[in-house]
């Protein structure tokens, strides 16, 4: 065998994404829980336990990612080594890490208590666990699985089908975990029966292994036809490979059974048993329940992180982000006017509509309202403020979201009606209009009136940030109560306070927060952090929010959320063939009677009003069905407002699925567009662009999987929010179901529409993959 072939074989690693990610997450969760338990019970969890568990995970990764996996179709020896690792190395190592309690303690407390708790307390689960971890069941399960999968028909099936191959490996791993469980008795499980029984238990398994290994070793013919028919590598014949695999199973497999036999025997015969004493179920519960000190463990604060925290808190941190965004916006405007007329080859066509939109939605879901934080339109408006003309207060009767909602509908309509994505000059004009509006409004009106009451992009982000996992909050309410200056809202000589009138002690959630960090910089007590929060908290709670009030009384905010949700479906639907064709036909038939853009606006308004009306009727129907005398029924207004907000996950999921499509198919457009812009500006330090076809980042099936997965997540989160709200309003579960039913039906219908949309061929409409 040449060195090259050997090197090629050894470099045949597979790196499976999901398996690798899953193992990494398991390692992180275990380590987090292990560290927590060690604080109170270091004697139970010495360092070697963590090493064992991590070693088990690493061995599992080796089995599924190393050349053993890629060569298993060619070499039976490689395949048997892989099975040995899965059955005899991984399970004992994982169980020696006593993983049950560390894994539970490593998860969020609420997930364990509310999510897994009811299952763990269910008697049927206890009975099932007792059955499958019992020695008889475990011994039979492992040995039957072991023998059954080595029957030639089953083995060939696994070799032919990747899916069955994975089932085979899962069978080996799971049954082997059960097999090793009574031997290792991972804490806090309690041993059943005599430890002496483990000796025949292990010896019996070794006899089964020896029988099969001997059969493979001494058989005069190749048992598995695939190896006989396939190519031979490394100069080993198929029969030689089979004999080697059998010998490996025999010798190494026996060592894995007989060494524990010796260890258990020595241990039982030794005068003093030094085993870890099993503890009662109550004891486990005590360890699972964190102490008061641990319960008050500090929350994760993004502003405490070394680099990001310093940048966000820095005096000119936001301005630095805004300056980058401002320069980019200026370049986009310039290229929009003088650059290539094709949207897909111009910065004004590529940057805002392919990249910024998609990353904006991703940022909302993983971090927060990053777009408003780095908003370029606010930079010239600062100049307007400095002119000292901002003396007017925004009129009280306009202090709602209604104008912003109208502007948002206008924005979505004009995007479609004037094909802004495909006309760089129109995108440039839109940006100029935005700069001008922000400058004029905030030059004459105090505070951030434009952001709070007018900006359609801002309202989109405010609505979306209700699901964001981070929120600016006071570190200590006691410090706020002692504070007499209220700099977070009043400001001081060095730093202005919150322009959106969000008073930190009463601020709840992200509505109206632009993450400008003014409050953080103004607070003299350094008492404000950017904390991780459960993403559904904002929608589930309804306290009186500073400058916002209760969500249940804000119809304008409910309609704002509905517009965001509706626009998600409408914007995506207009890109798919069947809808575009129908609308074109309708436009052609009515064009003589009504101008096309006006017809579009009319359709948008009628459609929006119809959907809002239908939802109102649906909510009221649920309320009527669930009416009772048990408790004061919620008002129709409250149900409408809060059920509308609960639709947000599905709407954002639709936005994410749609914009991910553009980002993934047009992911390589930015580079050539920058080169094109540089050529258009007459800057020759960059080479001319090379426009050529690139494959999308994901295959068609992977893209569809991603889109459907996003919609699934949106649907489930929306239904969960609806259920929690319905439970809050009713005493009995049956009433909650009745209240939820009409609304949930409309949610399911919206989900079905979303699935239908992503299954249709989508037009790139001016965007392309170069």
Nearest to 739 by CA among 562, 618, 644, 645: 618
Binding mask 212-241 for other proteins (x = CB under 8 A): --------------x--xxxxx-x------
Residue 244 as a binder of other proteins (CB under 8 A): the answer is no
Is 128 near other proteins (CB under 8 A)? no
CB of residue 382 to other proteins, shortest distance in Å: 32
Least Å distance between CB 165 and other proteins? 11
- At residue 474, what are phi and psi to the nearest 5 degrees? -70, 140
Query: 620 to 659, contacts with other proteins by CB under 8 A?
Result: none
> Can you tell me which of 17, 397, 683, 685 binds other proteins, judged by CB under 8 A?
17
> Measured from the CB of residue 562, what is the shortest distance to other proteins in angstroms?
22
Q: Which residues contact 312 (CB under 8 A, 6 or more apart)?
A: 302, 303, 318, 517, 520, 530
Minimum Å distance from CB 671 to other proteins?
Answer: 6
CB of 224 to other proteins, least distance (A): 13
Both tokens of 145, joined, read 């699985």
**Which of residues 17 and 685 has its CB atom nearest to other proteins in the complex?**
17
**Cis amide bond preceding 654, omega within 30:** no
Interface pick for other proteins out of 160, 267, 275, 393 (rule CB under 8 A): 160
E strands present in 457-498? 470-474
CB of 235 to other proteins, least distance (A): 6
Burial of 315: CB neighbours in 10 Å, binned 0-12, 13-18, 19+:
exposed
Among 301, 556, 680, 712, binds other proteins (CB under 8 A): 712
What is the phi/psi pair of residue 669, to 5°? -80, -30
* 25 lies in the binding site for other proteins (CB under 8 A): no
**What is the footprint of other proteins within residues 601-620 (CB under 8 A)?**
none
Distance CA 650, CA 540 (A): 15
Residue 217 or 328 with smaller CB distance to other proteins: 328
Q: What is the rounded CA–CA span in Å between residue 350 and residue 769? A: 11
Tally of CA atoms within 13 A in the half-sphere of 109 that contains its CB: 13
Q: Minimum Å distance from CB 245 to other proteins?
A: 18
β-pairing, 528-532 with 470-474?
antiparallel
Query: How many Cβ atoms from other residues are within 10 Å of residue 182's Cβ?
Result: 22
**Residue 74 binds to other proteins (criterion: CB under 8 A):** yes
* Closest separation in Å from C-beta 724 to other proteins: 11
* Number of neighbours of residue 264 by Cβ within 10 angstroms: 17
Least spacing, CB of residue 361 vs other proteins, in Å: 17
Q: How many residues bind other proteins (CB under 8 A)?
A: 63
Considering only 667, 689, 729, 766, the residue that binds other proteins (CB under 8 A) is 667
We find the least distance from the C-beta atom of residue 712 to other proteins, in angstroms, to be: 5
Please return the burial class of 498, using the count of CB atoms within 10 Å of its CB with bins 0-12, 13-18 and 19+: buried
Residue 102 or 360 having the CB closest to other proteins: 360
Q: Which residues 746-765 are close enough to bind other proteins by CB under 8 A?
A: 751, 755, 759
Q: Which two tokens stand for residue 247?
A: 């010998």
Q: Which is nearer to other proteins, 28 or 598 (CB)?
A: 28
- Rounded to the nearest whole angstrom, what is the least distance from the CB of residue 360 to other proteins in the complex? 18
Tokens of 489: 């809202």
Query: Which of 199, 239, 704, 741: binder of other proteins (CB under 8 A)?
Result: 704
Stretch that binds other proteins, among 160-168, 248-256, 319-327, 579-587 (CB under 8 A): 160-168
Near other proteins by CB under 8 A: residue from 671, 681, 686, 741 = 671
User: What does the angle CA 329 – CA 332 – CA 333 come to, to the nearest 5 degrees?
Assistant: 90
Distance CA 88, CA 259 (A): 12
Least distance (Å) between residue 672 CB and other proteins? 10
Contact between 270 and other proteins per CB under 8 A: no
Q: With contact defined as beta carbons under 8 Å apart, do 732 and 682 qualify?
A: no
- Count Cβ atoms below 10 Å from residue 71 Cβ, excluding itself: 19
**3-state SS assignment for residue 547:** coil
Query: Tell me, what DSSP letter sits at residue 526?
Result: -
Percent composition of the chain: helix, strand, coil (DSSP 3-state, to 5)? 70, 0, 30
Whichever of 210 and 760 has its CB closer to other proteins, that residue is 760
DSSP annotation of 323 = H
- Residue 535 or 696 with smaller CB distance to other proteins: 696
Chain positions contacting other proteins, by CB under 8 A: 1-2, 4-5, 8-9, 11-15, 17, 67, 69-71, 73-74, 115, 117-119, 121-122, 160-162, 226, 229-233, 235, 664, 667-668, 671, 694-706, 708-709, 711-712, 715-716, 719-720, 733, 751, 755, 759
């Amino acid at each position: 065998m040449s060195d090259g072939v050997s090197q090629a074989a050894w470099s045949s690693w597979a790196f499976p994404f999901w398996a690798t990610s899953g193992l990494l997450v398991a390692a992180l969760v275990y380590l987090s829980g292990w560290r927590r338990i060690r604080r109170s019970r270091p004697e139970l969890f010495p360092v070697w336990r963590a090493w064992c568990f991590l070693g088990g995970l690493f061995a599992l990764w080796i089995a599924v990612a190393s050349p053993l996996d890629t060569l298993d179709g060619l070499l039976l020896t490689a395949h048997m080594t892989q099975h040995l690792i899965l059955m005899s190395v991984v399970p004992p190592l994982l169980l020696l890490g006593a993983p049950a309690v560390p894994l539970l303690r490593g998860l969020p407390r609420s997930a364990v208590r509310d999510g897994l708790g009811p299952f763990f307390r269910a008697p049927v689960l206890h009975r099932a666990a007792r059955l499958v971890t019992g020695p008889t069941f475990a011994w039979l399960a492992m040995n039957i699985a072991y023998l059954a999968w080595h029957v030639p028909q089953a083995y060939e099936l696994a070799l032919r089908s990747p899916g069955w191959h994975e089932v085979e490996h899962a069978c080996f791993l799971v049954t082997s975990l059960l097999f090793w469980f009574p031997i290792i008795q991972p804490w806090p499980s309690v041993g059943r029966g005599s430890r002496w029984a483990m000796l025949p238990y292990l010896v019996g398994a070794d006899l089964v292994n020896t029988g099969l290994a001997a059969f493979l070793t001494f058989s005069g013919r190749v048992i598995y036809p695939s190896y006989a028919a396939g190519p031979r590598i490394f100069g080993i014949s198929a029969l030689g490979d089979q004999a080697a695999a059998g010998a490996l199973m025999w010798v190494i497999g026996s060592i894995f059974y007989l060494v524990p036999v010796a260890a258990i025997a020595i241990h039982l015969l030794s005068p003093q048993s030094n085993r870890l004493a099993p503890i009662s179920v109550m004891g486990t519960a005590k360890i699972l329940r964190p102490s008061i000190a641990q319960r008050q463990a500090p929350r994760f604060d993004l502003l405490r992180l070394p680099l990001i925290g310093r940048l966000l808190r820095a005096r000119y941190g936001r301005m630095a982000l805004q300056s980058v965004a401002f320069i980019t916006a200026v370049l986009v405007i310039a290229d929009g006017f003088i650059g290539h007329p094709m949207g897909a080859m111009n910065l004004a066509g590529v940057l805002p509509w392919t990249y910024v939109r998609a990353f904006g939605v991703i940022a909302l879901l993983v971090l927060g309202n990053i777009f408003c934080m780095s908003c370029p339109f606010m930079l010239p408006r600062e100049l307007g403020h400095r002119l000292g003309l901002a003396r007017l207060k925004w009129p009280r009767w306009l202090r709602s979201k209604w104008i912003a909602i109208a502007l948002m509908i206008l924005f979505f309509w004009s995007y479609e009606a004037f094909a802004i994505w495909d006309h760089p000059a129109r995108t440039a004009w839109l940006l100029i209009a935005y700069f001008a509006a922000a400058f004029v409004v905030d030059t004459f009106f105090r505070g951030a009136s434009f952001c709070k009451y007018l900006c359609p992009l801002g309202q989109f982000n405010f609505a979306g940030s209700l699901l964001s996992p981070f929120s600016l909050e006071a570190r200590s309410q006691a410090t706020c109560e002692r504070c007499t200056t209220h700099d977070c809202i009043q400001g001081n000589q060095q730093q202005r306070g919150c322009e959106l009138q969000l008073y930190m002690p009463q601020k709840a959630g992200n509505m109206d927060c632009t993450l400008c960090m003014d409050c953080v910089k103004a607070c003299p007590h350094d008492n404000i952090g950017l904390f991780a929060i459960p993403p559904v908290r904002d929608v589930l709670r309804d306290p009186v929010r500073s400058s916002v009030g209760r969500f249940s009384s804000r119809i304008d905010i409910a309609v704002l959320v509905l517009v965001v949700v509706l626009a998600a479906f409408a914007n995506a639907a207009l890109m798919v063939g069947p809808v575009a064709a129908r609308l074109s036909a309708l436009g052609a038939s009515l064009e003589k009677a009504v101008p096309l853009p006006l017809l579009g606006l009319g359709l948008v308004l009628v459609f929006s009003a119809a959907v809002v009306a239908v939802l109102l009727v649906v909510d009221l129907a649920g309320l009527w069905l669930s009416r009772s005398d048990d408790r004061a029924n919620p008002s129709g207004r409250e149900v409408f407002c809060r059920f509308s907000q609960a639709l947000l996950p599905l709407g954002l999921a639709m936005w994410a699925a749609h914009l991910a499509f553009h980002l993934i198919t047009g992911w390589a457009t930015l580079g050539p567009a920058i080169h094109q812009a540089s050529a258009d500006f007459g800057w020759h330090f960059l080479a001319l662009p090379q426009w050529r076809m690139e494959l999308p980042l994901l295959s068609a099936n992977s893209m569809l999987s991603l889109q459907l997965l996003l919609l699934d997540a949106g649907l489930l989160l929306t239904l969960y929010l609806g259920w929690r709200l319905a439970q809050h309003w009713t005493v009995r579960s049956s009433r909650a179901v009745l209240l939820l039913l009409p609304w949930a039906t409309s949610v399911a219908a919206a989900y079905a529409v979303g699935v239908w949309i992503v299954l249709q061929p989508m037009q790139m409409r001016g965007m392309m993959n170069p």
